[in-house]
Amino acid sequence: MTTPTAPRLGTALTRLLVLAAALLGVLLAGAAPASAHAALTGSDPKDGAVVATAPEEVGLTFSEQVAMSADSIRVLDPSGRRADTGEIIDLCSGAVVKYGVALRAGLPDGTYTVAWQTVSADSHPIAGAFTFSIGAPSATSVALPEQAPGGGIVGALYGIARYLSYAGFAVLVGGGAFVLLCWPRGASVRPVQQTVVRGWLTLTGATLAMLLLRGPYTGSGELADVFDLAGLQAVLQTKTGAALTSRLLLLGAAALFVAVLFGAYARRTDPKERKDLAFGLGLGGTVVAAGIAGTWALAEHASTGIQPGIAMPVDILHLLAVAAWLGGLTTLLVALYRAPSVERAAVERFSRVAFSSVAVLVATGLYQSWRQVGSWSALTGTRYGQLLLVKIGLMGVLVGIAWISRRWTRRLAERPAGAGTTPQAEADSATAADSETDPDTGEEEPEEQGPREAPDPERAAQLARQRAAMATARRKKARDADPERTGLRRSVLTEAAVAVVLLAVTTVLTSTEPGRTEQEAARAGGTTAGSAAVPDRPVDIRLPFDTGGVDGQGVVRIGLDPGRTGANALHLFVERPDGKPLDVPEIKVNLTLEEKGVGPLPVAPDRIQAGHWSASGVQLPLPGEWRVQVTVRTSEIDQTTIEKNIKIG
């Protein structure tokens, strides 16, 4: 006969898995693929610059250290052919992170495209592109990939593996800690054993998947490259590859820890031997858990930016506190549903562990938030800051539900002795709720063996229905008699559901550019992954004109998008005073930056329709106060020139 509590657990776990999958899909779909954590803060030549002669090399300056390969910087001529030698030049000096590539001799005039892709120091792929011109701007046939680095199916799979690795770590470490610190008898309970082992399997499988996906994730983006052994060998030589390999080795030690915990420790009956073994397991398990947490700290956010020497130990503490709380919560949930004989004292001890974990999370989280965000404007004005606010809100909800769970725990502890005397009596009472289930494993006890006649199928079905009805009645009676434990089950289940959401938000947060980095890059005028520059607002100005002839009055409306240095799209609309389109024989535009001696740069827009002209690829090589001059001719002899200054960032 099936354990009466199993269907309820299956329903609960199914809801959690569906919620996790749905939320993770939404977050991964809404997140920019592999947002940059390093940023391009400058280039030589600058984006959109027009130089008189071809430079000897192109240099890129980054906000933090990056890993460069032979194809990290490519310079393409107007026809799309390589214009560089392919030799990366290290131009770093002190705190300045700069790399370049030499150009070939004898390059013709025209617009050149610089496409770059690399990996930031915190393991995330970044890429971008910009243009500069030799002599004068020209048309270009260069077509860059639309997919951002770390995007596509490979990016989605890598993100899922990252999520599962965090979840597996929490269940493995938190489950082991729950058994050692809160419920030693749980070491012999089959559902608890299965939960911790599944955490180990999940973390191991996710780590292997990330190791195989790492090459295409930071490179080609092609799923087939998962089987490229040369690419895998290159990954193993990187910081992230070393961290993932170290994690696998530490998981081997963790497997030994789990085997001893659920083997020798579970079978010990002598209190002194059990206490000594528990001390050794606790000490060794803490070292292994800290080592596994360190594989994240050494390869991701904490290892770069300001104060890495402090940030990495803080990050390890943060991860261990998360695991102790959320992993212990998962194990408690399983114990409450699959092994209802869990003692009140175990729940009370976990309540204290969870409270300590939350205190550590608050302290380490405040430091990490300051380090990664740095200002109130970054907290509200960057994607990282906004995700952090969501995480803080979820933490608040989780703490509120945990407070409710603590109230149920307190009511369990304060229940009169007549309702449940000793922990063992409580266990026996829970076992009596279904006499055909084992109190420790929650599994069916084998039926007595012996010679018997072949059962009548109809009679057997009738008996099965009767046993099911009796089991349901016993289960309802037991739960009605123990409202405190029922309330605790529900609050812990709700707590676990919110934890699933919180873990998904945290996963996306780890692949999002920190707010401090984003704002520093914006102030430096640099770029982030997937974009050519930090844009200003599109320019939109109106210039009244009067040529003096018939239909000589009107307004020229000019739109310049995105209104920054580099290539822009120019749109001109000529309108009568009543707002209707006015088709004029000719219109010309000149752009001049007097303070730098640039221009006038002529623009010859094409007629699109009556009253509408446009020009693409209008190059503004430098920021500053540009003068826009527009010449409007309304007849053979009637024309006028109007002008206005615009600010280009």
Structure tokens at 413: 């502890």
pLDDT at 416 > cutoff 60: no
Q: What is the pLDDT of residue 250?
A: 95
Q: Is 92 left (phi over 0), alpha (psi -120 to 50) or beta?
A: beta
- Of the chain, the percentage scoring pLDDT greater than 90 comes to 15
- Of the chain, the percentage scoring pLDDT greater than 70 comes to 76
pLDDT at 368 > cutoff 70: yes
Arithmetic mean of pLDDT over the chain: 77
CB of 119 closer than 8 Å to CB of 303 = no
What does the pLDDT look like over 28-65, one tens digit per residue?
A: 344 444 344 567 888 888 888 888 888 989 999 887 77
Going by pLDDT thresholds of 50, 70 and 90, the confidence category of residue 262 is: very high
pLDDT at 264 > cutoff 50: yes
Across 132-141, average pLDDT: 84
Q: What is the pLDDT of residue 415?
A: 54
Q: Which residues 6+ apart lie within 8 Å of 166 measured at CB?
A: 503, 506, 507
pLDDT at 149 > cutoff 70: no
Among 29-43, 50-64, 66-80, 134-148, the minimum mean pLDDT is found in 29-43
Q: What is the pLDDT of residue 144?
A: 67
Q: What is the pLDDT of residue 436?
A: 42
In Å, how far are 58, 503, 567, 615 from 532, measured between CA atoms? 16, 32, 10, 20
Beta bridge partners of 118: 126
pLDDT at 221 > cutoff 80: no
pLDDT at 314 > cutoff 80: yes
**With a threshold of 0.85, does the pTM exceed it?**
no
Among 287-301, 454-468, 567-581, the minimum mean pLDDT is found in 454-468
* Gap between the Cα atoms of 442 and 439, Å rounded: 6
* Gap between the Cα atoms of 374 and 366, Å rounded: 11
Using DSSP, state whether 620 is helix, strand or coil.
Answer: strand
* Gap between the Cα atoms of 510 and 605, Å rounded: 46
Q: What is the pLDDT of residue 532?
A: 35
Helix, strand, coil percent content, the chain, rounded in steps of 5:
50, 20, 25
Beta bridge partners of 112: 132
CB of 388 closer than 8 Å to CB of 530 = no
pLDDT at 91 > cutoff 80: yes
CA torsion 175-176-180-184 (nearest 10°) is 60
Q: Which residues of 73-90 are buried (b: 16+ CB within 10 A; e: fewer)?
A: bbbbbbeeeebbeeebee
Helix (H) / strand (E) containing 13? helix 6-30
Task: Residue 128: name the closest of 512, 530, 513 by CA.
Answer: 530
* Gap between the Cα atoms of 478 and 472, Å rounded: 10
Task: Residue 140: name the closest of 125, 129, 152, 151 by CA.
Answer: 129
Q: Is 440 left (phi over 0), alpha (psi -120 to 50) or beta?
A: alpha
The CA-based angle 311-394-371, given to 5 degrees, is 20
Most confident segment among 494-508, 556-570, 597-611, 622-636: 622-636
Using DSSP, state whether 134 is helix, strand or coil.
Answer: strand
Task: Residue 605: name the closest of 560, 564, 637 by CA.
Answer: 560
User: Alpha carbon 23 to chain centroid distance?
Assistant: 13
Q: What is the pLDDT of residue 519?
A: 60
User: Alpha carbon 24 to chain centroid distance?
Assistant: 10
* Gap between the Cα atoms of 103 and 108, Å rounded: 12
Query: Which phi and psi angles does 42 have, rounded to 5°?
Result: 180, 160
Q: What is the pLDDT of residue 286?
A: 94
Query: Which phi and psi angles does 501 have, rounded to 5°?
Result: -65, -45
Among 178-192, 333-347, 355-369, the minimum mean pLDDT is found in 333-347
- Residue 483 CB neighbour total at 10 angstroms: 12
How many helices (H) does the chain have, and how many strands (E)? 16, 18
CB of 66 closer than 8 Å to CB of 153 = no
* Gap between the Cα atoms of 356 and 350, Å rounded: 10
| pLDDT higher at 522 or 533 | 522
What does the pLDDT look like over 159-218, one tens digit per residue?
A: 899 889 999 999 999 999 999 999 998 899 899 999 999 999 999 999 999 999 988 888
Query: Which phi and psi angles does 557 have, rounded to 5°?
Result: -105, 125
Structure tokens at 285: 């398990």
| pLDDT higher at 630 or 126 | 630
| pLDDT higher at 238 or 249 | 249
CB of 373 closer than 8 Å to CB of 386 = no
* Gap between the Cα atoms of 544 and 555, Å rounded: 4
User: Alpha carbon 75 to chain centroid distance?
Assistant: 31
In Å, how far are 50, 177, 413, 420, 426 from 423, measured between CA atoms? 81, 21, 11, 8, 5
What does the pLDDT look like over 498-522, one tens digit per residue?
A: 777 777 777 776 666 666 666 665 5
Q: Write down the H helix ranges in 481-626.
A: 483-510, 515-524
Beta bridge partners of 134: 51, 110
| pLDDT higher at 121 or 635 | 635
